[in-house]
Structure 1
Amino acid sequence: MELFGRHTETAALDRLLDRAAHGSGSGLVLWGEPGIGKTALLEHAVEAASDATVLRCRGSRMEAGLAFAALHELLWPVMDRLDRLAAPQAAALRGALGLSRDTTNRFLIGAAVLSLVSDLARERPVLVAVDDAQWVDEATAHCLGFLARRVANGPVAVLLTGHEDPASGPWEGLPALEVVGLADDDARRLLVAAAPGADEALVDRTVRAAGGNPLALHELPTIDHEPDGDAPLGRSGDLTPVGPRLRRAFGSRAMAMTPPARTLLLLAAAEDRGDRHVVHRAGAGWGVDTPTWDEVLRSGLIRATGARLEFRHPLIRAAVYDGAPFLDRQAAHRALAVALPRDATAERAWHLAAAADTVDEDVATLLEQAAEQCLQRSAGPMAARTLRRAAELSPEPAAAARRLAAAARAAWDAGDAEAARQLLDDAERLGGELLVARLSGGLRGILEFAHGMPERAHRYLVCDMAVVPGARGAVELGTVAVRAAWSAGRPDLQQEALQRLLAVDTDSDPALTELLPVLRVWWSCYDQTGEVTPTTPEMASGTVSRLGTAAWELLPPVPLAQAWGIEGSLLDVLREQAVHLRRRHELTALALVLAQTAVLDIAAGRWEAAETAAADGLRLAEEVGADHVATQNRVSLGALAAARGDHRTVDEHTTQILQVSVPRGVRGLSASAYLHRGRAALFDSRPQDALSHLMPLADPEHEAAHPTCALLAAMDTVESAVQLGNADAVEPQVAMVETWAQRTGATWARTIGHRLRALVLGGPAAEASYQAALDVAGAADYPFEYARTRLLYGEWLRRARRRADARIQLAGAAEIFDRLGAKPLRARALSELALAESPRVRLVPSRTDEAGLTTQELRVARLAAKGLTNREIAAHLLISPRTVGHHLAKVYSKLGITSRAELARIDFAGGMRLRAAGD
């Protein structure tokens, strides 16, 4: 088949197939208006892939709400390979395809499809071709998106066609190519080939009317020659878009047929699934007989393959349906509803809904039942749409509000926060805020907490606690309200929410009655006023474990768990929750759990696992539009970048964090951005910059003020302040950590308390504190902080001229930093180790006289030559400004110079070299 004017597109397809043939798989989305030639290009790719295994399917509007309908068509030819899959994957895929009653798990299904395609690709390249992807059911669409993003290392090509730009949705991120109209010359060549007998005038009119649309170029000349049709489309001289012209053209062709044939076409267009048996039964009472079927099939508008009916192009179906009178469409839907099998509840409900022209409680009830079936199949978006239509047909405003509230909850559970918000607005206009709060389980506050401002979320949540049904709903909202106040950095609001939470009457629910004291212990211990119930790490750990048996929303924020030093308990719970969330395909919640898991993995030294979790969580959050959750994953990626010395990535992530969190007042996230900027500066030996980022965490008036983050940042704040000699900033921070260590017994707090006390004491008294920090039970479970303690201790030992002892600590620190990938601190440890190993070097100028400099004198000289002040040099080398002056005096004497200006003219990099003192 010759494709006119498609050199660019076919070249792109050939490259796609060629890369796949050589083991470099990828995906491509062809998109453009209906009839523009996407299907022809897909057929070109299928023909060109003669040496490949081709799996193909086509989207259907009617089946768009049936989970995995398109996947069933795609994989039907290779069903015999299911036995080769791992048992969990095979079970999940069989359940999705209706071959068993196994519970569907979309993550496992995606993995199973990827495994199946990869298995096929071991034998020969594979082409996955999906036409009309805009009508592929959501479950299959996400599965195909999962596949297309993971075939880079195999001989697999995934080619999809659709109407819309795939900049968002399941194909987001895949390479895309817009298919546009043909140029006039190419359109003319195509038209002449399609209608060889067309005269020049007809060619000119058709090219102008078609606007480069190949389908129109094929169809319009034929319609123009039909004697009984309406005025030919190409005869009009206006610039009406191609779409309406084609719809009118196809409508004219249908109108030229007999009434029974037009009825059959309308039934087929309204049925939309292509079920020939249903259409046949529906048309039996309308005079649709065998000659009618022959007439329609001969027209070429519909093709029949076995029990399937298919319009030659979806645009024809739209033209037939839209061109029919409304009363005829109603009658067609009613007939189809009657003709459906008894168990087709959802399809019958939708047909009756399409036939309804006024409110109808019976149909609304059927739609509500259909929505329940959708929810059972985890088809949340379809359930939301079904409930919305049920609300439109509800005679009573209260019933409409109830269904809209349920639709909002279904949309939220499916990860569509924007749709949920709009549905809540519609419900509140009908039923009022309090009624909808009760019906939706307080969804407004939950939405605000996840995507809006935490202080506003707190107000919604504490108010809705009084109206949601059941004690469990009130407890869940109350816990989220406490957490919202924590996110806002508002201990006063947190205590208010906690008091309301503890006042919930849970007598009817023993499990909740047992849970409330646990929540009291957990959240009260955050209050740093000292007026708290005494607790222990073991009690707090038990709290987390017990919360893990409840809803994931009840789990504490990770920084608070870190403050308690009970990350291990929380990590176990989070991993269990992640398994359940993947199974239920709750993407927003899963992205949040991945963000929390990443933070805990960082603390435990599992940096690669943390990066994978945070990157996956960020991708999921961006896919569902959960920017607040995406920001939490950026926090972990920023933390890793700071420790690795990747300043560009730190700036990128923290900037995006602040762009989201500051306007919304999410101080917990803003504080994290400031913390990671401060740490990056500290690790880069810029203590003044570090302190400027870290001090605001404890300033109640600052946008990044947050008590928990200030507590966790104390170790960095004190180290920066000590380097600068800023005593005013030191003691309050040390006291805060030591108080917390006494209150909780947390391993990290005890370790850091000793370390900070060593920094403050200095001199001989510091050694006992350093040693105590290293000896705290469990300190080594935090490898990065453990290595930082060893580094500081080693530097202290080296300055005390105990070089052998210093080398042990510095070498151990360098080894841990190297394993983790913490480049700046590894370099600092190695530099200190060199000082400890080589007590003296000589600087040999290019002239004949020699000036012997110690290694430290050389470092001071180089920094002074760069223009740094004595205070800046002191901060960089972790010595006092007075010591810097002492070293410079010796440098001047040994080099025979008297000023910094002379020092700046010395080429330390090229004109001098170092050699051992004994050379």
Structure 2
Amino acid sequence: MFGRREETAVLDELLSQARDGTGGALVLWGEPGIGKSALLRYVHDQAGEFIRLSYSATRPESDLAFAGLHGLLRPVTDRVESLATAQATALRAALGMSGEPTNRLLVGAAVLSLLCGLAERQPVLVVVDDGQWLDAATALCLGIVARRLRAHPVVVVLADHSRPAVRLWDGLADMRVESLTDESARRLVTTVAPLADEPTARNIVAEAGGNPLALHELATLATLATLASLEGDLDDAEHHQGAERPPVGPRLRRAFRAGIEALSPPAQLLTVLAAAEGNGDRLTVQRAGCASGADDDAWEEATSAGLVHVVGNRVEFRHPIVSRAVYEGCGATARRRAHRALAATLPDETEERVWHLAAVAHDRDENVATLLEQTAARSRRRGDTVTAARALRRAAELSATPIDVSQRLAEAARASWDTGCAATAERLLDDAERLAPGAHIARRSQGLRGIIEFARGMPELAYHHLITDLRRVQDPGTALELGTTAMRAAWSIGRGDLRAGALELLLELDIEGRAGLPGPPAWWSDDASADTAPVDASEGNDAEARARTTMPPLLPPTPLGLAWGIDKPMGDTLRRRMPHLRRRRERARLAVALAQTAMLDNVAGRWAEAESSAVEGLRLAEAMGADHIASHCRTSLGWLAAARGDERTVAEATARTLETSLPRGVRALSAAAYWTRGMASLFHERPDEALDTLVRLAEPGHGAEHPTFALLAALDTAEAAVHVGRHDLAEERARALEAWVRRTGASWARSAAHVTRALLGGPRVENAFRAALDVPGARSHPLLHARAQLFYGEWLRRRRRRIDARAQIGGAIEVFDRLGAEPLHRRAQREQDLTGPPGRRGSPDIGEVSRLTVQEQRVAELAAEQLTNREIAVQLRISHRTVGHHLGNVFAKLGINTRTELSYHRAGSEPRAAERR
């Protein structure tokens, strides 16, 4: 542990806190070989009295869901039955002990319960090495567990190559493991290679660059060759086409090249064969070695040198960095010889043979290019778009004619896009079009140009590309994707005519699934005035059922799905797809799905899940340069911030969105940003400001005008309008909601329409409130339902029905508290306080008046005399909206809600008990 005093101190403190009953988690991260594993061994050794669970992830198991969890919990699987039934069932399924379906959140809760149960007897230490190779399900589970440990003596220490923010460890404490100082590195070399002379030790330290693994390996190689000869030139490194390996710097390659050259030619060949083979298949390496003259003595020499070791039928390097260093340091000639020998030992039909042939080829070779193209097709069928993209790019390099190069580049562009490599995809597509433009580009890239433009945030340009390419593609599924993406683009810019044109073109095409189009396209319309028969509740249920069985491309944009009331089946469909997208590493589609899921979870009250999805989607979208997707994620985060009362985040998120959406005419994103700003103002009780923002959603010609968002924000607009005396606007929004209910039967719209009618007043206010709360499915939108309870409770309190008011407001408070809707929670709590019995309500603090500004005091004095806002405005020569703003501040500062209370406050007394009741 030379030079690791700071790191070990942090680990010691974690263990010490656990001994005192407080848990914690830490992510150690840094480049391969930097010493993370040594630190994990250290903390493991220091926790002798702990229950210790450890696991080292491996790349071969990284695609097996819960493989890591299986390895980690094997010593304690007997404790699974002690869990609650649901958790035990979920964990058994995750560990392969049953065939039940798994729920990842439930599995995370089960693992947390299991660890906490173990910790009741003694502290628990969980150590996971090589976290970058953990399967996604285990990584997500450990992230859930690690964020919830503080109240239990459980310590989780993870090691990963990447910083936590770019993986599933975001939000956990982390420490970057840095390179060793020269002094510490020298001490390490002296310990590992005590016989090394001073010049050799000095060269080792200089070449390793503070990497402990490199120091270990170079010290071992020092027994085979002197490192003083490492000043020679290096051949340029070539990348191995068939495998992904960690990068190696030139100094490390130079060091390993010397070690390899110290071996006999047969032993050198074996190590290069093992590095070039890449999969650790000892039998393949052995056959290739024997065919090339490497016998058992060569194996003995290679393993004795410490470069490789054999375990059963696997040949392994001590660390992947060693394999890469060997491969890159051996020279191009040796690499080609190794790949040629490996290809000769493999059957013709294997993909490994194709990759070895591709590595040997260094000129145009149409035969190998065709084999690579076939490999790419097989890879795509099994969902491996990364390998497909790499195969197609190499095939293009080996293609004989410009048209073949162009076609393969176009297909490689689409595969690269699916993996999330947007810049690479666009570059490949540009190259394909430059070499041989034509309709084949659209067919082979599956209309990628329009998809890129749409993701970039240029929906109008995207629409024209998509419609053009829709006529060129031959695959029915691709045609459906392009057509529905064109409809999304048209909806984004608020062009119903373009949306109808794309739908008409889809209906004209003879494509599979066309028969299902006449039903679902109704969901793509946001025209409340469409001539349709009224929808009853049973028809609404039918819509949900249809949505569950509809092909995902035919589902409308998420806000439109919310408006139609099919958000639950849409969310279920998206959640079912995401594991599939993760498994196939289709990052572009995953980013879209995450953005959609985040908005649906917002409305459903799953705010933690929504935030997690939006943050992950934003990270993926930003990495791809997909502004449109990124803005959708920011919209969800901004909506959450508005509901939570975080106005700074609201301002930042909406400003970023509007910066691009307004100039580009993306009305949907602009409208979402305006809605978010209006919500924030309304929830902070600035109704005039809120109304000034929200009316833009229905203002003809405004950059934020969008009928879908005007509908979704109708209740907010109506509430703000009522507060400032604009009952005409509130009435207009009520009629729009009622028309939408007649068309769709959506439960949220029915509830919002009843609430809006209640806010407008009249003889049937209470009936309207009760109808809003009793709408079937209303509770599936908890924020809307709780607001209806709050409005009803406020109305009851003003009618002096204190007990009834407390029941409604109490229910709202419970929901606001659970969700974290802080502004609404404060408002509801203030209302609840006003419904309390006389003995529990203290007199307003007269000293609070000193907190009012001069203008607020003048407004308060006139309002206490029961003047209307307009009368006050005339006297003070300000607008009635400004009066409303000042009066709202007065009520908030004094903790009151009505002008009557303001009169008592001014007189220094309380209302009579009878009036309070």
Give your verdict on TM over 0.5.
yes
Say if 1:720 and 1:249 are closer, same or farther in 2 by CA, change over 3 A.
closer
- Structure 1 residues 477-488: aligned runs within 5 Å: 477-488=482-493
Q: Distance in 1 between matches of 2:200 and 2:835?
A: 92
> Are 1:620 and 2:608 counterparts?
no
> d(CA) in 2 for partners of 1:706 and 1:552?
24
User: Which protein is bigger by CA-based radius of gyration?
Assistant: 1
Q: Does the C-alpha gap of structure 1 residues 883 and 365 become closer, same or farther in structure 2, counting only changes over 3 Å? A: same
* Alpha-carbon distance in 2 for matches of 1:103, 1:789: 40
Structure 1 residue runs of 5 or longer lacking an equivalent are 845-854, 889-905
* Alignment match, 1:896: none
Alignment partner, residue 437 of structure 1:
442
Structure 2 Cα separation of the partners of residues 18 and 408 of structure 1 = 53
Question: In 2, distance between residues paired with 1:116 and 1:277?
Answer: 45
Q: 1:555 to 1:887 in 2, by over 3 A?
A: same
Amino acid at match of 2:2: F
Q: Partner residue of 2:869? A: 881
Which residue number corresponds to residue 572 of structure 2? 575
Q: Give the secondary-structure state (helix, strand or coil) at the position aligned to 1:284.
A: helix
Q: CA deviation at 1:270?
A: 1.5
> Is residue 856 of structure 2 the alignment partner of residue 868 of structure 1?
yes
Task: State the 1:631 CA deviation.
Answer: 4.5
User: Structure 2: which amino acid aligns with 1:666?
Assistant: V
- Structure 2 match to 1:303: 309
Query: Match for residue 852 of structure 1?
Result: none
* Cα distance in structure 1, aligned partners of 2:419 and 2:107: 17
Residues 60-139 of structure 1 correspond to what in structure 2 (within 5 A)?
Answer: 67-68=63-64, 75=71, 78=74, 125-131=124-130, 136=133
Equivalent position of 1:851 in the other structure: none
- Matching residue of 2:324: 318
- Residues 744-778 of structure 1 show CA distances to partners (whole Å, capped at 9, x for unaligned) of 56565566556656666x6xxx2236635644795
Matching residue of 1:895: none
Equivalent residues in 2 for 1:32-431 (5 A)? 32=31, 36-48=34-46, 53=52, 55-57=54-56, 67-68=63-64, 75=71, 78=74, 125-131=124-130, 136=133, 140=135, 143-144=138-139, 146-148=141-143, 150-152=145-147, 153=149, 155=154, 157-160=156-159, 162=161, 167-169=165-167, 175-194=173-192, 196=194, 207=205, 211-214=209-212, 231-233=228-230, 243-312=249-318, 314-340=320-346, 345-375=350-380, 377-414=382-419, 417-431=422-436
Q: Could you say if the C-alpha distance between residues 873 and 881 of structure 1 is closer, same or farther in structure 2, counting changes exceeding 3 Å?
A: farther
User: Deviation string for 1:863-883 (max 9, x for gaps)?
Assistant: 977632777999999983268
Q: Does 1:705 align with 2:700?
A: no
Specify the SS of the correspondent of 2:549.
coil
How far the C-alpha of 1:466 sits from its partner, in A, is 0.8
Q: Assess if the C-alpha contact under 8 Å between 1:874 and 1:881 holds in 2.
A: no
Once the two structures are superposed, residues 763-807 of structure 1 have per-residue CA deviations (whole angstroms, 9 ceiling, x without a partner) of xxx2236635644795475365566567667767877xx544xx4
User: What SS does the aligned partner of 2:703 have?
Assistant: coil
Question: What does 1:730-745 correspond to in 2, within 5 Å?
Answer: 732-733=732-733, 736-737=736-737, 739-740=739-740
Report the Cα distance in structure 2 between the residues aligned to 1:862 and 1:230, rounded to whole angstroms: 80
The Cα RMSD (Å) is 5.2
The Cα shift of 1:681 comes to 2.1
Verify: 1:7 aligned to 2:12, yes or no. Answer: no
Distance 1:302 1:790, change over 3 A: closer
Q: Give the equivalent residue in structure 2 for 1:897.
A: none
Q: Which amino acid aligns with 1:611?
A: W
Q: Identity over the aligned pairs, expressed in percent?
A: 40
The answer to whether the 8 Å contact 1:643/1:679 transfers is: yes
Return closer, same or farther for 1:504/1:803 CA change in 2, 3 Å cut-off.
same
Q: Which amino acid aligns with 2:610?
A: A
Aligned to 1:512: 514
CA separation of 1:431 and 1:9: change in aligned 2, threshold 3 A: farther
Give the secondary-structure state (helix, strand or coil) at the position aligned to 2:764: helix
Aligned length: 848
Which of 706-715 and 648-657 deviates more? Answer: 648-657
Aligned equivalent of 2:884: none
Q: 1:113 to 1:249 in 2, by over 3 A?
A: farther
Paired AA for residue 814 in structure 2: R
CA contact (8 A) 2:275 2:323 kept: yes
SS of the residue corresponding to residue 328 of structure 2 reads helix
Deviation at residue 826 of structure 1 after TM alignment? 6.0
Change (3 A) 1:808 1:431: farther
Closer/same/farther in 2, CA of residues 870 and 823 from structure 1, 3 Å limit: farther
* SS of residue matched to 1:150: helix
Write the deviation string for residues 558-592 of structure 1: whole angstroms up to 9, x where unpaired.
4334444xx2x441343144224334536765665
For 1:11-30, list aligned pairs within 5 A.
Answer: 11-15=9-13, 24-30=23-29
Is 1:498 paired with 2:503? yes
* Contact persistence 2:643–2:680 (CA under 8 A): yes
Q: In structure 1, how many angstroms separate the alpha carbons of the residues matched to 2:567 and 2:796?
A: 37
Q: Deviations over 1:509-557 (max 9, x none)?
A: 4x423x232245343x5246x5656564666764564354233122123
How far apart, CA to CA, are the structure 1 residues paired with 2:576 and 2:558?
A: 19
Equivalent-residue separation in structure 1 for 2:507 and 2:544 (angstroms): 18
Over 3 Å counting, the alpha-carbon distance change for 1:739 and 1:632 in structure 2 is same
* CA shift in 2, pair 1:448/1:879, >3 Å: farther
- SS of the residue aligned with 2:679? helix
Report how far residue 699 of structure 1 moved: 2.6
Q: Kindly indicate whether the alpha-carbon contact (under 8 Å) linking 1:687 and 1:721 is maintained by their aligned counterparts in 2.
A: yes
Cα distance, 1:128 vs. partner? 3.6
Cα distance in 1, alignment partners of residues 822 and 600 from structure 2: 21
Please name the residue that 1:611 is paired with: 607
Tell me which residue corresponds to 1:817.
Answer: 812
Amino acid paired to 2:29: L
Whole-Å separation in 2 of the counterparts to 1:141 and 1:483: 30
Contact 2:507 2:514 in 1 (8 A): no
How much does 1:284 deviate?
A: 0.9
Q: CA deviation at 1:886?
A: 14
Q: Deviations over 1:824-849 (max 9, x none)?
A: 556656766777899999999xxxxx
Q: Is the 8 A contact 1:522 1:540 kept in 2?
A: no
- Distance change in 2, residues 1:273/1:536 (3 Å): same
Paired amino acid for 2:156: A
Q: Cα distance 1:664–1:231, how it changes in 2: closer, same or farther (>3 A)?
A: same
For the structure 1 residues 542 and 168, does the alpha-carbon distance in structure 2 shift closer, same or farther, using more than 3 Å as the test?
same
Q: How far off is 1:247 after superposition? A: 2.6
Q: TM-score, normalised by structure 1?
A: 0.76
Q: Which runs of 5+ in 2 are unaligned?
A: 82-87, 234-246, 877-893, 896-901
Instruction: Deviation per CA, 1:655-712: give whole Å up to 9, x if none.
Output: 5554564465432233223223223322333222112211221234433221221233
- Residues 459-496 of structure 1 deviation map (CA, whole Å, 9 limit, x = unaligned): 22222221121445434422222222112223343233
Q: Distance in 2 between matches of 1:304 and 1:257?
A: 18
Q: Which moved more, 1:624-633 or 1:214-223?
A: 214-223
* Structure 2 residue 456 is matched with structure 1 residue 460: no
What is the CA deviation profile of residues 208-240 of structure 1, one whole-angstrom value per residue up to 9, with x for unaligned ones? 5655455665676787787x768534899xxxx
Please tell me whether the aligned partners of residues 55 and 74 of structure 1 are also in contact (alpha carbons under 8 angstroms): no
Contact 1:92–1:109 (8 Å) recurs in 2:
no
* Secondary structure in structure 2 of the residue aligned to 1:320: helix
TM-score (norm 2): 0.77
| 3-state secondary structure, aligned to 1:439 | helix
